[in-house]
Amino acid sequence: MQDGNLKHTILYAHSNESGDVSSWEPLHEHLIRVADAASIRGAAFGAEQLAEITGLLHDLGKAKPEFQQKLRGKKSHVSHSGEGARYAVNPDHGLRGLGKLIAYCIAGHHAGLANGKGYSSNAQPTTPLDERLLRSEVVPLPDGLTVPKLTEDIPPALSGPASGNGDLHFRMQFFVRMLFSALVDADFVETEAYYDRIENRKAQRGWNGTLQELQTKLNVYLTGFGNPSGEINRTRARILSHVRAGASQFPGLFSLTVPTGGGKTLASLAFALDHALCHDLRRVIYVVPYTSIVEQTADVFRVALNDDDAVLEHHSSFDYDKIQDPGENEKIRLAAQNWDRPVVVTTAVQFFESLFANRPSKCRKLHNLAKSVIILDDAQALPLHLLRPSLAAIRELARGYGSSLVLCTATQPALRREDGFTADEALEDVRELAPDPTRLYETMRRVQVRDAGDVDDSELAEKIGNQEQALVIVNSRAHARSLFDLILEQPGATHLTTNMTPAHRRHTLADVRRRLNRMKPVRLIATSLIEAGVDVDFPVVWRCLAGIESVAQAAGRCNREGRLDAPGEVIVFRPEARNKPPKELEKHIEIASNLMAKSEDPLSLESVRDYFRQLYWDLDHGLDTARVGDIRGIMKAVGRGGSRLDYPFADIAHGYCMILDRGRPLIIRGGPFGVPYSLLEELRFNPHPGTVARRLQQWHVQVPFWVYDKMYNEGAVETWREEDFGEQFVVLANPDIYDERAGLRWDGFSDIGYQEY
């Protein structure tokens, strides 16, 4: 391309359907707007100049005559993202080694961050960066556009001592993701703003308020509790006061070790707001392990802060259509794209998979993690097969991005170097926020754990038949169903597993709570689903042997409010041989069994630490097992970046998967707990599969793929609107398979897994 092609000619970035070329957006204006917006986002982690340069170059390829003709209606598949990347890596342009980091972002700002070299291994491989650079054209800067010279050699997030090449390369690829986030979010928002102006639409982004106002509202709410009465409430008040007193400590890593029922949710929110105001941090991000408790946590925060708009609830099951105000609906949709809210409640899957993602839609929010307070609730639930890269990300957010992260749990995992965690990613300088956790545990201990040894199902059914209110938690849906069948005729017999639709589970839990409060019989057979933050209070809990963290969670459902005159009973039992535990639970059970045999109190902080220490030691080579191309382990794959900085971004995104067998959603139709026929009719012509999926979310059951295949082959399921969406929506054809008391029932099921979330 000759310089003359670019001189004295207006180049455009965006066109519109008005037919008026004068309303099109000039390329240099778009580049400058995106550069300014990216610079603001990059400033949160000291990368404003690099973000500005990335924004100035990101659409350089739109200056090509072929692209300008495309804007004027000529059909073309011409790309435009490689040219800016090529400019960045050109040594004559003075970006030095940082040019390649910028190039990743520019080349991927539509298709996603690609591998440095080599095609990715997933189903939709992206062209690697080295090939994109070779295929791109040399394009000079448009008239009037200049790229500033770098004033710093190394951005602050990349500086400081590294413990080795692996640490250095993790730092480099993490920085690329954050820079990429600043670019793609700026590009999306500025492009959206252009079309808002052209179409005379009012912008729906942003929140009008301050963290100071939220803190004041929270203080008013907490004051409303008055003087605490009862030992438990007084202990909760003491915890709250002590945690808030620690907010002035400098940002970094914290732990909050509080027994279940100790009020850690509100205490951690109060700390987060106080800490953010003390250190000029920007937002609070509350991460919970399970989708099932995001909604209840967000509701608690909305009430406590008296501001619905300040709290963003972001997870895969969120139903935007429950918000009837179209304007409010759109504001929440937009905020979910980049977490542009002061308080975000999300899932661990959403949080951690975004940190290792490569798609623009998943990465847009990442820059908003910088200078934030991040609460990791139930920190013991971090996935073992991804533990090392997850810890590396936690460390990096605290080290290079000014964030504070709080590991919040009743069973603190032994992840610190002083705990004996030997991996390079061990956490260091973690400060405890709770007042004397050991003494706190003793003060709030409301249960006694007893080992009942071997107990078969018929014996267990007889024992709980003699207890008016009892909870039994087992390790698989198959075991829960067979045990429920044995007690079916007992008063208050109830079943709770993910074989039931979310609507069915909510109805069941409401009935359980009602019966408990009225002192009526309730004999609940459940899987570990009940341990996911469900606030029920039984006098006795039977727990099928599992890991100590699971036993502790079960204990949190026993004598929760301390209403009993004596400690509640948590009875751990070993099931009969036919109810063999899932393979992924075997090591947890082995270590827990040994610990229970020698410990008087298996839930003491010392026992919990010993349990996790042994678990991590035994699983040393199983703490980073993701497949990244032809390499096993994300940290190993990152460490092979080499001097050419060839990071496998696409392969890492494909490999970092928290739930290994996500299964397939099966929609239940009709009946009291299935999707109403009227809603199916309403959605019959809706063209948006995302909207349809969210509307149907409350009436589905996630089934393993092999179960789905069996049901499909036997004609028990059928596709809905296959002509529009293929096989995306599958409904239960035979309503007799779904039981109104036990959920999905299917002859021939064997154990369909322990993973309930």
Position 46 scores a pLDDT of 95
Distances (CA, A) of 730 to 544, 698, 701, 720, 721: 34, 14, 11, 6, 9
Helix 437-444 × helix 231-245 angle, to 10°: 160
CB environment 40-64: b (16+ within 10 A), e (fewer): ebbbbbbbbbbbbbbbbbbbbbbbb
- The whole-number pLDDT of residue 331 equals 53
Q: Exposed/middle/buried for 750, CB within 10 Å: 0-12, 13-18, 19+?
A: exposed
Helices 387-400 and 348-355 meet at what angle, rounded to 10? 70
Question: DSSP for 74-118?
Answer: -------SHHHHHHHH-GGGS-TTHHHHHHHHHHTTTT-PPBSSS
Structure tokens, 514: 């009602």
- What are the strands, taking DSSP E only, across 591-699? 627-628, 631-632, 664-667
Residue 344 host element (H or E): strand 343-347
**Token pair of 323, please?**
């918000």
Question: What pLDDT is attached to residue 335?
Answer: 63
pLDDT recorded at residue 3: 39
Candidates 664, 656, 658; CA nearest to 628 is 656
> What's the CA gap between 330 and 328, in Å, rounded?
5
Q: Is 173 helix (H, G, I), strand (E, B) or coil?
A: helix
Using DSSP, state whether 525 is helix, strand or coil.
strand
CA distance 104 to 645: 10
**Whole-angstrom Cα distance, residue 45 to residue 275?**
18
Q: Is 483 exposed, middle or buried (0-12, 13-18, 19+ CB in 10 A)?
A: buried
What is the structure's pLDDT at 757? 34
Residues of the chain with pLDDT under 50: 1-8, 318-329, 749-757
Structure tokens, 131: 């090939």
Please say whether the beta carbons of 247 and 221 come within 8 A: no
User: 3-state secondary structure string, 256-295?
Assistant: EECCCCCCHHHHHHHHHHHHHHHHCCCCEEEEECCHHHHH
Q: Given this model, what pLDDT does residue 315 score?
A: 60
Cα→Cα distances 284→335, 366, 376, 728, Å: 14, 13, 11, 35
Alpha helices in 127-164 (DSSP H): 129-135
Question: How deeply is 151 buried, as exposed, middle or buried, from its count of CB atoms within 10 A (0-12, 13-18, 19+)?
Answer: exposed
CA distance 570 to 550: 12
Strand, coil or helix: what is 449? strand
Burial class (CB in 10 A: 0-12, 13-18, 19+), 177: buried
Structural contact between residues 85 and 107, judged by C-beta atoms closer than 8 angstroms: yes
Please answer whether residues 448 and 570 qualify as being in contact, where contact means their C-beta atoms are separated by less than 8 angstroms. Answer: yes
Contacts of 188 (CB under 8 A, 6+ apart): 337, 338, 360, 364
Written as six digits, the tokens of 509 are 């839990």
Domains defined along the chain, listed by start? 3-198 (1.10.3210), 249-257+278-431 (3.40.50), 445-620 (3.40.50.300), 664-744 (no CATH)
Q: What is the pLDDT of residue 639?
A: 92
First to last CA, the chain: 55
Query: If you compute the radius of gyration of the chain from its CA atoms, what whole number of angstroms results?
Result: 28
Q: Is 87 exposed, middle or buried (0-12, 13-18, 19+ CB in 10 A)?
A: buried
Instruction: Output the CA torsion sign for 517, 508, 692, 709.
Output: positive
Q: Output DSSP code: residue 608.
A: H
Strand ranges in 421-467 using DSSP code E only, listed in sequence order = 430-432, 447-454
Distance CA 204, CA 201 (A): 9
3-class DSSP assignment, residue 517:
helix
Bridge-based pairing of strands 568-574 and 447-454 is parallel
CA atoms of 541 and 135, how far apart (whole Å): 64
- Cα distance between residue 574 and residue 579, in whole Å: 9
- For the residues of 702-725, what is the DSSP string, one character each? EE-HHHHHHHHHTT-EEESSHHHH
Going by the DSSP 8-state scheme, the letter that residue 141 receives in this structure is: P
Structure tokens at 716: 């028990």
Report long-range pairs for 594-597 (Cβ below 8 Å, ≥24 apart): 595/548, 596/449, 596/451, 596/572, 597/451
Strand partners, 666: 701
Count Cα neighbours of 728 within 13 Å in the Cβ-side half-sphere. Answer: 14
DSSP 648: B
What is the CA angle 628-755-467, rounded to 5?
165
Whole-angstrom Cα distance, residue 577 to residue 581? 9
- Going from the C-alpha of 397 to that of each of 371, 422, 610, the distances in angstroms are 9, 21, 28
Task: Give the whole-angstrom CA distance, residue 427 versus residue 401.
Answer: 16
